[in-house]
């Protein structure tokens, strides 16, 4: 792991050291009350996110110590076993409301004083101004973290019997609420970023902001030394992704109902070129999907039913995105799918980008003359109702 770890000290007398004592260890954690549990420790260097150190340490009288050396900025995550809720065979990580997470920089020694308060793990980070700023930001947004924890539990519970048995509309509503709460939670960090444009912590907090437009807006605010520093590669990757998503939204808005659908040419599973204009005199369904998408797979039986029902006047075209042709071929053969199946392209042939596809599955209904009639995100009944109402 390139010098991230020097030594894990044995959990003896050192583990009972108090934060108030002179601190030699990298990390000292104290939980208030009678907390006896395992702590799941994860350390991720910011510049080597594939070099992850993990360990499980048992608390002794609510305390634990980690004696290591970090040679580069490192993200630290601590989770208690009791906060990892098991649903069936899954054992997901703790929700953010019950997770300790912060950036630790070389030379820093962190002391964590943690206390449970009605569904919220409140903690204070002691050791440096940057550490204290992180816990202060989190503690100010307690209500949002609690709401995120409740929504997290609801999402995991709703998915416990598998995606194929889940209520997609209900799951989507939970994710929408989760996204809004997550953005409100992240807003507190923006004040710190504006006041500390030359700090690595500001770049770290900005990378965690869930709204990509906000990321692009605040990125020019950061000092160039921070943008070109330890997080340069991750910042650039996210910048490209955010700009891509902005273009997706612009294309989606451009292809509102009544707009002319752009022509394209892609290749089917046998390597034959197929153009949208080949079907310009018919109704066309463009189905953007992938074998990796559980909702897409779940909707195949109903798609087959409606293809059989309407194939006389509607051409179905499925476009596999972010997928491998071997997997698509195997799935199409297994499910005996007989409509047109194409593989999405890249660059100028990226039809998903061209049509502003922001999620999967997305279906776009085109009227004769290649005019956009409607767009449907997810497996929604409106799509099938509109097919039945075609004249």
Name the nearest CA neighbour of 25 among 108, 126, 103.
Answer: 108
Among 224, 254, 284, where does a domain finish? Answer: 254
Identify whether residues 6 and 63 lie together within a single domain.
yes
**250 and 270 inside one domain:** no
pLDDT higher than threshold 50 for residue 14:
no
Q: Which of 92, 95, 124, 98 is nearest to 111 (CA)?
A: 124
Phi-psi region of 119 (alpha: psi -120 to 50; beta: other; left: phi over 0): left
- pTM, whole model, 2 decimals? 0.75
249 lies in the same domain as 269: no
- Rounded distance, CA 93 to CA 41, Å? 11
Verify that 292 and 342 share a domain, yes or no. Answer: yes
Task: Indicate if 249 and 270 belong to the same structural domain.
Answer: no
A 10 A CB-CB count for 261 gives 21
In a shared domain, residues 231 and 315: no
Domain CATH code at residue 41 = 2.60.40.180
Number of independent structural domains in the chain: 3
Question: Can you spell out the DSSP letters for 148-177?
Answer: HHHHHHHHHHHTTT-GGGS-HHHHHHHHHH
Given a cut of 70, whether residue 87 has pLDDT beyond it is no
pLDDT surpassing 70 at residue 391:
yes
Same domain (yes/no): 149, 227 = yes
Question: Where does the pLDDT of residue 13 fall: very low under 50, low under 70, confident under 90, or very high at 90 and above?
Answer: very low
> Token pair for residue 262?
């752009």
pLDDT at 12: 37
Name the nearest CA neighbour of 103 among 29, 46, 25: 46
Domain hosting residue 236, numbered range: 141-254
Number of Cβ within a 10 Å radius of residue 291: 18
Q: b vs e for 210-228, b when ≥16 Cβ sit within 10 Å of the residue's Cβ? A: eebebbeebbeebeeebbe
Are 342 and 266 in contact by the 8 Å Cβ rule? The answer is: yes
Q: How far is CA 350 from CA 163, 256, 342, 357, in A?
A: 28, 19, 12, 10
Give the SS3 label for residue 133. helix
Residue range 185-207, pLDDT digits in tens? 888 899 999 999 999 999 999 99
Q: Is residue 315 part of a domain?
A: yes
pLDDT in tens, 105-149: 998 999 999 998 887 899 999 999 999 999 999 998 888 888 888
């Amino acid at each position: 792991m390139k010098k991230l770890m020097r030594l894990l000290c044995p959990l003896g007398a050192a583990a009972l050291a108090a934060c108030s004592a002179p601190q030699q260890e990298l990390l000292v954690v104290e939980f208030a009350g009678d907390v006896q549990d395992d702590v799941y420790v994860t350390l991720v260097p910011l510049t080597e996110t594939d070099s992850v150190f993990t360990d499980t340490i048992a608390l002794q009288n609510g305390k634990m110590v980690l004696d290591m050396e970090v040679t580069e900025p490192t993200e630290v995550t601590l989770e208690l076993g009791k906060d990892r809720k098991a649903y069936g065979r899954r054992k997901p990580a703790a929700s953010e409301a019950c997770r300790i997470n912060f950036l630790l920089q070389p030379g820093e020694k962190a002391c964590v004083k943690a206390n449970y308060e009605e569904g919220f793990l409140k903690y204070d980070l002691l050791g440096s101004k940057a550490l204290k700023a992180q816990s202060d930001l989190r503690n100010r947004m307690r209500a949002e973290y609690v709401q995120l924890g409740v929504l997290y539990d609801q999402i995991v519970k709703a998915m416990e019997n598998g995606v194929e048995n889940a209520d997609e509309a209900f799951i989507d509503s939970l994710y929408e609420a989760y996204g809004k709460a997550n953005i409100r939670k992240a807003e507190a960090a923006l004040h710190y970023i504006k006041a500390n444009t030359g700090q690595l912590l500001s770049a770290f907090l900005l990378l965690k902001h869930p709204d990509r437009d906000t990321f692009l807006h605040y990125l020019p605010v950061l000092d160039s030394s921070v943008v070109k520093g330890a997080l340069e590669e991750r910042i650039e990757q996210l910048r490209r992704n955010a700009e891509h998503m902005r273009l997706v939204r612009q294309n989606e808005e451009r292809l509102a109902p009544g707009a002319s659908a752009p022509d394209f040419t892609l290749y089917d599973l046998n390597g034959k070129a197929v153009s949208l204009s080949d079907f310009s005199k018919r109704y066309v369904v463009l189905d953007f999907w992938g074998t990796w998408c559980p909702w897409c797979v779940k909707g195949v039986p109903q798609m087959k039913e409606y293809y059989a029902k309407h194939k006389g006047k509607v051409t179905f075209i499925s476009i596999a995105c972010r997928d491998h042709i071997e997997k698509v071929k195997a799935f199409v053969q297994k499910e005996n799918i007989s409509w047109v199946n194409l593989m999405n392209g890249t660059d100028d042939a990226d039809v998903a980008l061209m049509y502003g596809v922001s999620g999967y599955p997305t279906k776009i209904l085109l009227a004769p003359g290649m005019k956009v009639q409607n767009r449907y995100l997810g497996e929604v009944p409106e799509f099938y109702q509109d097919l039945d109402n075609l004249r």
